Structure 1
Amino acid sequence: MTSLGLRLRIFLFFVLLAVGGTGGVLLSLWFGHARAVQTSVADGFLLAAILSALALLGLTAGIWLLFDENVAKPIDKLAAEMRVRAHAGIYSQVDTHSARYLGDLAYAAEAVSGKLRGGAMETAQKVALETERLAMERARLTALLTEIPVAMILASPTGHIVLYDGQAAEILSQSHVPRLNAALSDYFRADGLSRAVREMHRTGREVAFTAEGTDGAQSYDARLKPMQGGGYMMVIEGAETHMPPEAERPLVYDFDLITRQVPGTVEETPLAQLVCTVFDSETTGLLPHKDEVVQIGAVRVLNGRIVPGEVFDLLVDPGIPIPPASSRVHKVTDAMVAGAPDIGEAGRRFHRFAKDSVIVAHNAPFDMAFLRRHRTRMGVAWDHPILDTVLLSAVLFGASQPHTLDALSKRLDVDIPAQLRHTALGDAHATAQVLVRMIPMLEARGMTTFGDVLEETRKHGRLLEDLN
């Protein structure tokens, strides 16, 4: 059968339908005639009609199953594989075995994929050279900043962080984990900061002021300097940090945030501009109504890329013993969580890390159920927009495909080191890589905004409860 062409194979489906239907009707008429001889003509015709309908229904269902299993599903899978190659930059070999009944289609797709891979390799070489040049320039800039004994932060016209260096990151972390696109008022008291910004705008000159931490425990001598084209620079001098003076201070930045237009609603936000907090949790068991969280891990995705260094990794004291069977999976033991914050404190910290972002998780209802169950204890409202990578996988690859994190990672060529699998941060990072690869695939399918994706994922609500 595998040697037959696709057109001939589809023709045979219709031949089978015609021959089988004709045979079923003739056999039904024969039984009807026999019944008519024994009873009446009406009974004979009624029996023949019932048997013919049942035969046609059974034949149609059987042929549909054959067609779905050997033609429709392989075509869907092949289309998804081509989307992966076209939009996610994955160039693994096309699965020709699952499409073995599609004639030359799978081999033609593999040939196109090979040509695409060849062109991509040539482009990648040019990009690599340019990337190397930019990396050298960045290294020079980092080395230059290392010689300047100040902490530096760049802010957009709206007061959101666009860039921070290593020393600034240490200062910001005294309040909370530093985050691109976070408001400076998340780290410094808004009243003093606002006065300095107003004075800077009024005079158009550099302004010196005292920047106080949001908890009031720290204060810094700082200066604000307006930048051409909008935004301003915040320089902090004389701050005590644990960073050696000679240590390199890496930069974290995204200059697109300076000119970024903020949409009216999150539903209108383009996918590539979403600020996402991708997280995972490890727990004492699989029952959200009675088990407890032992670890929370998260990374941030901004403008379609994972932000290096912006990581949340926290052990949590569950308040109950961790079963040995659970510890064998996630490697978290009672001794490790001794002295760790409880879920109330851990939840508050994570809530702040995820502020003003879309929360993303793999099988989000499970992880969110633990957080929402303790929301009163945390004193926060978990009202973030939510994306679930299980549902995104169903949208892109079809509901009939496996949607586990392992299956999705293999499909999108995401490597999960064995020692990091089933750790909160390791699984969160793998989920973030999966999300980054799926965003261009979703855009190519016409889902360009967060609202478009929500509308499409709700069609797969049978897989998971939709939390939005």
Structure 2
Amino acid sequence: MLRALSLRLRIFLLFAGLAAGALAALITGLWLGYRRLGSPETLEAFVQGGVVAGFVSLGVVAWVWYLFDINVARPIDSLAGALRARAHSDVTGGIDARIAEYLGDLAPAATAAAASLSETRNALAEAVARETTRLTVEKQRLETLLSDVDAGVILCSGDHTLAFYNGQAVDLMGAGMAAPGLDRRLFDYLREGPILLAHARLIATGDNDAASDLLCATLTGSRVLSARMRLMVADNGTVPGYVLTLRDVTADHATHARREALLAEVFDRVRRPAANLTTLLAAIPEGGAAPGKLDRALREEVATLTSAVTDLSRRHDEGRSDGWSLAMTRASDLLDGLRARMEGDGLTAETQTDALLLRCNGFEVIALLSGLTEAIAREGIARAFRLQIEEDGTGALIRLVWHGAALPMAQLETWLDAPLEPGITTMPRRSVLATHATEIWPEAAGQGENSLCMPIPQARRVVRRPEPVARPVVYDFDLLSKARNAKVQDARLHDLTYVVFDTETTGLLPGQGDEIVQIAAVRIVNGRRVEGEVFNTLVNPRRPIPLSSTEVHGITEAMVQDAPFVEEVAARFHKFAEGAVLVAHNAPFDMEFLRRLEPTLGLRFDNPVFDTVLLSAVVFGQHEVHSLDALSHRLGITIPEEARHTAIGDTIATADAFLKLVPMLQGRGFDTFGAVLSEVRRHGRLLKDLNESMADQT
């Protein structure tokens, strides 16, 4: 029990016990003397003498305790904090010997130990640097390569959180949405259906070399992406992560459509003159106007040309169904992409499909059917649909069912002549039918329902892959093996994601109308600050900014005139901080500004919270000054003068301080969030209300 108490408190209890013992001994001695004397008239003298002696004893003990606390206990605490800062963080600089000038040789010995540790660390760093230089170069080459490849590349853990993404992936997934971020759910950006199915399929195969091609859509349905998934090697029985490569098939489709249109035009323009020439020659009697040999040669050449054009046209029509664009596509992926497009147009759709693989161009089929549903909705026929794909002999039948009036065939023919993708290609919708050697027709579905039916000639049922052939392990990727703990209280500090933030305001009284004028935040993932994931914006406070506040943070009313209002910024910040532990210096001040917006936004800022003020008190003791400047000075962090009292400058300084405090906390045995929180609460009740929702998360 005593080990859980601080050094200063234990010393205080020691002197308190000494004082109590001295008083007990004094009282016992006086009582024995009075009894031995046996004179009642001396009682008052004994009492007076005991009181005086007791107060003198207490005063002497208190004075000695005070001197011991000032010159021994406090310096030991300060010296311990300085040593931990150098042992667990990369704090440089010598220890001030004046901290423990009354501790004899302890301060010089601690200084020498810190200097030796620094020299050893520097020597180790130089040795490691020689080896890591090569790895750094290789890492830079890999980053350059992945940033320049045409496809978007995503690396996800087994629970579908992002561990890597390149610039192309940002362009593909972030259209119209917040940019992707590390340790965020992939399904914040892509629809989950096809990805979950492909992941489960690959895990079921047990083949590390297997890959799965799929179609997936962005969450908004604005893009349909062609993707390939390959599993990573899993360790310790964890769910394996995967690599996902993404391509936007819109540009490829447009190129393919232009090529098809050109070929069709070539055949048409050649076929017509050949037919006309044949007709004209048929009007010339054999052996008539032209000499016999010339006439015969002319007729032979025309016949050859006609036959060649006819044959090429036939082979082209047959080959369209065997081209690169007709790949095996899962029926579930096709319907998910179609539903995404329809929902993006404001329509509703239910899906039902057999476990089938269709040989089709998924993008063309989705474009055709989504265009027809949009036309049906525009005519006021229906806005809710049921999408079905069922096995039909050696092929499959796609049904688009709605409750409402039937669609006239003439109207359908008109819609099929419209462009497949206006603004992208002029190729008509009916060209998709020719590509797939199929037709589409309206048909009654019974009970007031009507439908469009479109067969796909080639399809097959999904079957389980055969057991994989054993192959030697060629590469061992030690990635994405972090076991996640759903309970924040029990989560290790390095396993948590943090968002460090700071606000600048019009004043210090949110309850009296002061507002945020700037908010900035950075993300810490796997123990490092992610340079590319920064939240930093000015805020229009809808009220004047006092000159006294401008003198502190430098933000004027002109600077925020065109800035977004706090409701928009707070909603974006809520998304940025989703699933993370919030970290701030003097967190209650910043959190009060955010939490009073909760009723307006309909959101809750119920993230777990760390306050670096109290973390500093845990590490360095309550007697130290714990301002951001003092903490930065102790940890060797330099805040540029121009960045001080700006939201982003203070945020980065707080993040760097937090990263240095974490290993110091771990060095004291506080490895989990709950352990740190329990220790923090011993130093004050500041975080009690900020973490009151923790019970709901565990």
Task: Tell me the TM-score normalised to structure 2 length.
Answer: 0.57
Q: Deviations over 1:227-266 (max 9, x none)?
A: 24132222232499xxxxxxxxxxxxxx876111111401
Q: Secondary structure at the match of 1:86?
A: helix
Q: Amino acid of the residue matched to residue 497 of structure 2?
A: V
Q: Which among 446, 452, 462 is matched to residue 675 of structure 2?
A: 452
Find the partner of 2:487 among 241, 265, 268.
265
Match of 1:209 among 202, 212, 215: 215
Q: What code does the residue aligned with 2:644 have?
A: R
Of the three residues 182, 187, 192, the one matched with 2:184 is 182
Q: 1:146 and 1:449, CA in 2 relative to 1: closer, same or farther beyond 3 A?
A: closer
1:143-200 alpha-carbon deviations (Å, 9 max, x no partner): 3234422221111121111101123234444411422111011122334544554566
1:334-373 equivalences in 2 (<5 Å): 334-373=557-596
Look up the match of 2:152.
151
Residues 359, 385 of structure 1: 8 Å contact kept: yes
Q: Give distance in 1, aligned partners of 2:555 and 2:566.
A: 15
What residue is the counterpart of 1:93 in the other structure?
Answer: 94
Aligned to 1:41: 42
CA contact (8 A) 1:281 1:296 kept: yes
Aligned to 1:75: 76
Alignment of 1:236-255 (within 5 A): 236-238=246-248
Corresponding residue for 2:229? 225
Q: Check 1:430–1:222 CA distance in 2 against 1; reply closer, same or farther (3 A cut).
A: farther
**Contact 1:206/1:226, CA 8 A, preserved across alignment:** yes
Q: Look up the equivalent residue of 2:84 and give its one-letter code.
A: R
CA distance in 1, matches of 2:576, 2:479: 18
User: Are the structure 2 counterparts of residues 435 and 167 from structure 1 closer, same or farther at C-alpha, using a change threshold of 3 Å?
Assistant: same
Please state whether the residue corresponding to 1:209 is helix, strand or coil: strand
Q: Is the 8 A contact 1:177 1:311 kept in 2?
A: no
Q: Is the 8 A contact 1:185 1:193 kept in 2?
A: no
Structure 1: distance between partners of 2:249 and 2:498? 31
2:133 is matched with which residue? 132
Aligned partners of 1:349, 1:163: CA distance in 2, in Å?
22
Deviation of the 1:97 alpha carbon:
1.0
| Alpha-carbon distance in structure 2 between the residues aligned to 1:394 and 1:84 | 13
Asked whether the equivalents of residues 153 and 165 of structure 1 are also in contact (C-alpha less than 8 Å), the reply is yes
- Judge conservation of contact 1:200–1:207 (CA < 8 Å) in 2: no
CA distance in structure 2 between the partners assigned to 1:188 and 1:345 by the alignment:
23
Contact 1:299–1:429 (8 Å) recurs in 2: yes
RMSD between superposed Cα atoms in Å: 2.7
SS in 2 for 1:176: coil
Aligned equivalents of 2:660, 2:492: Cα separation in 1: 15
1:320 aligns with 2:543: yes
CA distance in 2, matches of 1:176, 1:220: 18
Question: How much does 1:456 deviate?
Answer: 0.4
Q: Structure 2: how far apart are the matches of 1:45 and 1:64?
A: 28
Output the CA distance in 1 between the equivalents of 2:82 and 2:127: 26
Q: Does 1:235 align with 2:245?
A: yes
Q: Report the counterpart of residue 441 of structure 1 in structure 2.
A: 664
Task: Report which of the two structures shows the higher radius of gyration computed on alpha carbons.
Answer: 2
* Range that drifts further, 50-59 or 389-398: 50-59
Distance in 1 between the 2:509 and 2:232 partners? 55
Match of 1:414 in 2: 637
Shift in Å, 1:417: 1.3
Matched length = 423
Change in 2 beyond 3 A, CA 1:463/1:116: same
Say if 1:178 and 1:357 are closer, same or farther in 2 by CA, change over 3 A. same
| TM-aligned CA deviation for residue 223 of structure 1 | 0.3
CA contact (8 A) 1:300 1:311 kept: yes
Gap regions ≥5 residues in structure 1: 1-13, 30-38, 241-254
> 1:62 aligned to 2:63?
yes
Q: Which AA in structure 2 matches 1:364? A: A
| Cα distance in 2 between the residues matched to 1:239 and 1:436 | 43
State the 1:210 CA deviation.
3.5
Structure 1's consecutive aligned runs of 4 or more residues displaced over 6 angstroms after TM superposition are none
Q: Contact 2:147/2:166 (CA < 8 Å) preserved in 1? A: no
Distance (whole Å) between structure 2 residues aligned to residue 188 and residue 173 of structure 1: 10
Change (3 A) 1:372 1:104: same
Aligned position for 2:124: 123
Q: Kindly indicate whether residue 493 of structure 2 is the aligned counterpart of residue 282 of structure 1.
A: no
- Output the CA distance in 2 between the equivalents of 1:466 and 1:98: 36
Query: Equivalents in 1 of 2:662, 2:554: separation in Å?
Result: 32
Aligned partners of 2:580, 2:147: CA distance in 1, in Å?
32
Counterpart for residue 260 of structure 2:
none
Q: Partners of 1:433 and 1:296 in 2: how far apart?
A: 18
Match of 2:380 in 1: none
Amino acid at match of 2:541: P
- 1:11-60 Cα offsets, whole Å, 9 max, x none, are xxx9xx99xx99xx9xxx9xxxxxxxxx9633322222222222222222
Match of 1:244 in 2: none
The structure with higher relative contact order (CA 8 Å, sep 6+) is 1
**Partners in 2 of 1:161 and 1:463 — Cα distance?**
34
User: Which letter maps to 1:222?
Assistant: S
Q: Structure 1 residues 463, 208: CA separation in 2 closer, same or farther (over 3 Å shift)? A: closer
Shift of 1:385: 0.8
CA distance in 2, matches of 1:464, 1:455: 10
Q: Deviations over 1:393-437 (max 9, x none)?
A: 000000000111111111111121111111111111111111111
Q: Does the 8 Å contact 1:155/1:162 carry over to 2?
A: yes
Deviation string, structure 1 residues 113-137 (Cα, Å, up to 9, x no partner) = 1111111111010222233212210
**What's the % identity of the aligned pairs?**
44
Query: Cα–Cα, structure 1 residues 194 and 464, in superposed 2: closer, same or farther, change >3 Å?
Result: closer
Cα distance in structure 2, aligned partners of 1:219 and 1:429: 36
User: C-alpha separation between the residues in 1 aligned to 2:580 and 2:217?
Assistant: 26
Deviation at 1:64?
A: 1.3
Aligned to 1:10: none
- Tell me which amino acid in the other structure corresponds to 1:267: Q
Deviation track 1:374-407 (CA, whole Å, cap 9, x = no partner) reads: 1111221111111111111000000000111111
Counterpart of 1:223, as a letter, is A
Q: Is the 8 Å Cα contact of residues 158 and 480 (structure 2) preserved in structure 1?
A: yes
Q: Counterparts of 1:114 and 1:446 in 2: how far apart (Å)?
A: 24
Contact 1:458 1:466 in 2 (8 A): no
Superposition pairs of residues 358-437 of structure 1, within 5 angstroms: 358-437=581-660
Amino acid across the alignment from 2:241: G
Contact 1:362-1:389 at 8 Å conserved across structures:
yes
Shift of 1:278: 0.7
TM-score of the pair, normalised by structure 1? 0.84
Q: Residues 210 and 333 from structure 1, CA distance in 2 versus in 1: closer, same or farther, beyond 3 angstroms? A: same
Deviation for aligned residue 1:339:
2.7
2:198–2:212 Cα contact (<8 Å) kept: no
CA–CA distance in structure 2, aligned partners of residues 431 and 369 of structure 1: 19
